[in-house]
Amino acid sequence: MNPMGRNLSIDMHGDDVMQLHSELRRLGYNLPEEELRQAYFGPGTRQAVLAFQRAHSLPETGIVDARTAAALTEAVAALGARPAPPAPAPSTAPGAPLAPGNIAEPEPAVPTQPLPASVHPTAPSGPSQPAPGSSAPSKSAWWAGLL
């Protein structure tokens, strides 16, 4: 990474920041989608830079100076020619945006509210045969109807 003779820090925009984002993502750091889209050095980028600096025993300033830029270049070169991972899909979960590095909880796969008895009848506890004179389905027929 070559920041063209300047330090990169919070509230900066531009091609240098876009390159920084690319290198941080290749190294596995999560960045906010909004900062990626705007090539913006925001709080999420600063957190990733701090984490990188910590992991590489650099002074934890949150600023990409010449020393941090050189360490980024070296770390990316050590990866070889692997491309950057795709940008994460924007969260569709309701509520506040996620903090960098957090993962949204998946939606439940099954209903969390009990179903009414008319929709979810109790399966017979005896044999799989309907009671004499009854047209109730057998357990296996009842389960097959759910599939």
Domains and CATH numbers, the chain: 15-79 (1.10.101.10)
- The three-point CA angle 92-98-103 to 5° equals 80
What pTM did the predictor assign?
A: 0.55
Give the position of tokens 């992991």: 55
**Residues 108-111: contacts with CB under 8 Å, at least 24 apart:** none
Q: pLDDT tens per residue, the chain (147 residues)?
A: 666 678 999 999 999 999 999 999 999 999 999 999 999 999 999 999 999 999 999 999 999 999 999 999 999 999 875 555 555 555 444 344 444 444 444 444 444 455 455 544 454 444 445 555 555 554 544 444 544
24 Cβ neighbours under 8 A, 6+ residues apart = 31, 45, 48, 49, 52, 72
Q: pLDDT tens digits, residue range 97-139?
A: 444 444 444 444 444 455 455 544 454 444 445 555 555 554 5
Q: Is the dihedral of CA 34, 37, 38, 39 positive or negative?
A: positive
Phi-psi category of residue 4: left, alpha or beta, with phi > 0 → left and psi -120 to 50 → alpha: left
- The three-point CA angle 33-38-43 to 5° equals 65
CB 71 within 8 A of CB 48: no
CB 21 within 8 A of CB 31: yes
